[in-house]
Amino acid sequence: MTDVHDHGADLRGAQRRALWIALAINGVYLGVEIIGGIAFNSLALLADAGHMVSDVAGLAIALVAQGLLSRPSSARHTYGLQRAEVLGALANAITLVAVVGWIFFEAAGRLFDPEPVEGSGLLIVAVLGLVVNVVSAIILARAQGRSLNMRGAVLHMASDAAGSVAVIVAAVAVIGWGATWVDPLASFAIGFLILGATWGLLRDTVHVLMEGAPKDLDAVEVEEVLNSQPGVGSVHHLHMWNLASDTPALSAHVVLDEDETLHEAQIRGDEIKAVLHKQFGIEHSTLELECHPCVEVPSGRKH
C-alpha cells in the first residue's frame, strides 16, 4: 500500500511541476499576444488572448487546487480537500464558457463591420502561440494521469492550440486576399471548438460532484468479483464514488457464509480489500461484514 501512496505523491508532484512550467510559459506569451492584438488590430488575436487570460487563470486555479489536494485530512475534512481538484476543473470549464460568450459578442460586431488587420504581424504572433500551446499541452498531458483538474488544464492548452491554428488561417487570408472578414470568422471557429471540448469536462466534473460511480469502473463487475470471493455469501448496499477524480472509493455490506470470529472476519475483510485494490485500484474501501443480510425497516434502521 505504501508504494501506491508514494506513486500517487510522485504523480501529484509531477503535476504541480508541469503546471508551474505551463503557467510561466503562458504568462509570458499572454503579454506578447495582447500587445500584438492591439498593434495589429486583430480581433482573432485578441480573442485568442482572451482565451489565454482564461488559460493563465485556469492554470493558476489548477495549481491552487492541486496544492489543496495534497493537504492532510482533519477533524473537519476527514477525507482532506481532495474535492478541490474537481472544483478546480469545474471552475476552469465555467471560465472557458464565459470566454466563449465574449468572443462571440465581439466577433458578431466585426463580422458585419470588418476592420483593417495587419496580417504579417498577426501571423508571427499566432505561430509563436501555436508553439507555446503545443509545448504546454505536451508537458501537462505527460503528467495528467486520471485527474480532471489536469485534464481541464490540458484542455485549455489544446483549445488554445486550435485557436492559434484558426488565427494563422485568418492571417494567411488577410495577407493573401485582404479578407479581413476571415478574422472574426476565425474567432467564431475558436469559440465553437472551445465549447465542444468544454462540454465533456463539465459533464465529468458534475458527475463526480454528484457522487456518480467512477466512469472506468463497472459496479456490476465489482459486485460479481466480491461475490466470487471465498467465504462471501452475498453483497448488498454497494456504493462507489470518487473522492478526487482519480481516487475511487467504495462501501458495501458483505454477508459471510460461515460464522466466524471477529478476528477471522477482519482477516477476510482485509483479503477482500486487497482484491479491490489490486483489480480495480480502489484504495478507499469500507466493508460492513455481516453474518446474515440486514433487513431494512420503514424508519431506515437495520435489524
Residues 134 and 261 in one domain: no
Per the structure, the complete domain to which residue 176 belongs is given by 2-209
Residues 56 and 105 in one domain: yes
Q: Is the CB of residue 167 less than 8 Å from the CB of residue 58?
A: no
Q: Is 259 left (phi over 0), alpha (psi -120 to 50) or beta?
A: beta
Count of domains in the chain?
2
Res 68: pLDDT:
75
45: cell is 488575436
**pLDDT (tens digit, 9 = 90+) per residue, 27-54?**
888 887 788 778 777 666 676 676 677 6
Res 51: pLDDT:
63
Res 1: pLDDT:
42
pLDDT at 276 over 90: yes
Element (H, E) at 237: strand 232-242
| 74 lies in some domain | yes
Between strands 248-256 and 232-242, the pairing is antiparallel
User: pLDDT band at residue 3, thresholds of 50, 70 and 90?
Assistant: very low
Residues 49 and 105 in one domain: yes
Q: CATH no. for residue 97?
A: 1.20.1510.10
Count of Cβ atoms closer than 10 Å to residue 218 Cβ: 14
Is this structure's pTM higher than 0.85? no
Q: Determine the angle formed by the axes of helices 148-177 and 43-69, rounding to 10 degrees.
A: 170
Out of 168, 187, 209, pick the residue that ends a domain. 209
Q: CATH no. for residue 237?
A: 3.30.70.1350
Res 228: pLDDT:
93
| 124 lies in some domain | yes
Q: Give the CA distances from residue 228 to residues 173, 233, 254, 257, 272, in Å, rounded to whole numbers and listed in that order.
A: 64, 9, 12, 12, 10
Residues 15 and 140 in one domain: yes
Residues 202 and 86 in one domain: yes
Out of 151, 182, 209, pick the residue that ends a domain. 209
Residues 110 and 160 in one domain: yes
| 214 lies in some domain | no
| 297 lies in some domain | no
**Mean pLDDT (the chain, rounded):** 80
Average pLDDT for 71-76: 79
- Report d(CA 190, CA 51) in Å as an integer: 9
| 73 lies in some domain | yes
